[in-house]
Amino acid sequence: MRKSKQETAETRERIVATAATEFRRQGIVATGLSELMGAAGLTHGGFYRHFDSKEQLVTEAGAAALASTTETLSGAATGKLRREALRAIVAKYLSTAHRDHPQAGCAFAAIGSEMARADKKTRAVATDSFAKLVEMLAACFEDVTPTEAKKQALVAASTMIGALLMSRVVNDAELSKSILRNAENAIRDM
């Protein structure tokens, strides 16, 4: 039953991608490895051919999830400049579509509180991704100094993540939309 090198690499990628989805959908602790491997079309016994531990998968899945979000946002801004790019990024991030599909969205909003308790490597990955998101936003503020742009970008990122998280927590459709829309407007006017 040994698989070719290419198949092995594909399987590994599939496990990471499945984990990135399932962790964001259900939470890290609440997602079991058996369930995860089943969702990836495998039995659980093979897991340790690819990873040393669940923790290692958490690190890699976190990195994959965050990279995908950064890429999506960056894609929404391609061909656009400065403020227009900012608007596109923020509109995408604070959309109801993003709110309603945590399994495919920003890991900070979906599993942020679990990431704050994760091991060193996972937090290092999260720190890098956050820095990239801030850089992307800072590039949109050209009318101010780079230092000021970075400050504004830090605030914008915090607002976006907090707003998306709370739009999912609250049980009131109107309030939820209002959180998203007002955060979007505020960043637009920064």
Partner DNA sequence: TGTACATCAGTGAACGCGCGTTCACTGATGTAC
Binding site for DNA (CB under 7 A): 1-8, 11-12, 31-35, 37, 42-50, 53-55
Token duo for residue 36: 């995860």
Question: Of 77, 104, 102, nearest to 91 (Cα)?
Answer: 77
User: Number of residues in contact with a second copy, rule: CB under 8 A?
Assistant: 47
* Contact string (CB under 8 A) for a second copy, positions 51-90, x = contact: ----------------------------------------
- Report whether 69 contacts 109 (CB < 8 A): no
Buried-state track 149-168, b at ≥16 Cβ within 10 A, e below 16: bbebbbebbebbbebbbbbb
Select from 3, 7, 10, 30 the one that contacts a second copy (CB under 8 A). 30
Residues 6+ apart with CB under 8 A from 76: 88, 89, 91, 92
- Report whether 69 contacts 105 (CB < 8 A): yes
Residues 6+ apart with CB under 8 A from 69: 105, 106, 107, 129
Q: Using a CB cutoff of 8 Å and minimum separation of 24, what contacts does 76-79 make? A: 77/136, 77/140
Minimum distance between the CB of residue 122 and DNA, rounded to whole angstroms?
A: 14
- Which of DNA, a second copy, none interacts with 5 (beta carbon under 5 to 8 A by kind)? DNA
* Smaller CB separation from DNA, 27 or 75: 27
* Smaller CB separation from DNA, 22 or 184: 22
Select from 3, 9, 10, 29 the one that contacts a second copy (CB under 8 A). 29
Select from 7, 116, 145, 188 the one that contacts a second copy (CB under 8 A). 116
CA–CA gap between residue 3 and residue 103 (Å, rounded): 29
Binding flag, residue 177, a second copy (CB under 8 A): no
Select from 102, 105, 136, 140 the one that contacts a second copy (CB under 8 A). 102
Which chain residues interact with a second copy by CB under 8 A?
26-27, 29-30, 102, 108-117, 120, 123-124, 126-127, 130-131, 151-152, 154-155, 157-163, 165-166, 168-172, 175, 178-179, 182-183, 185-186
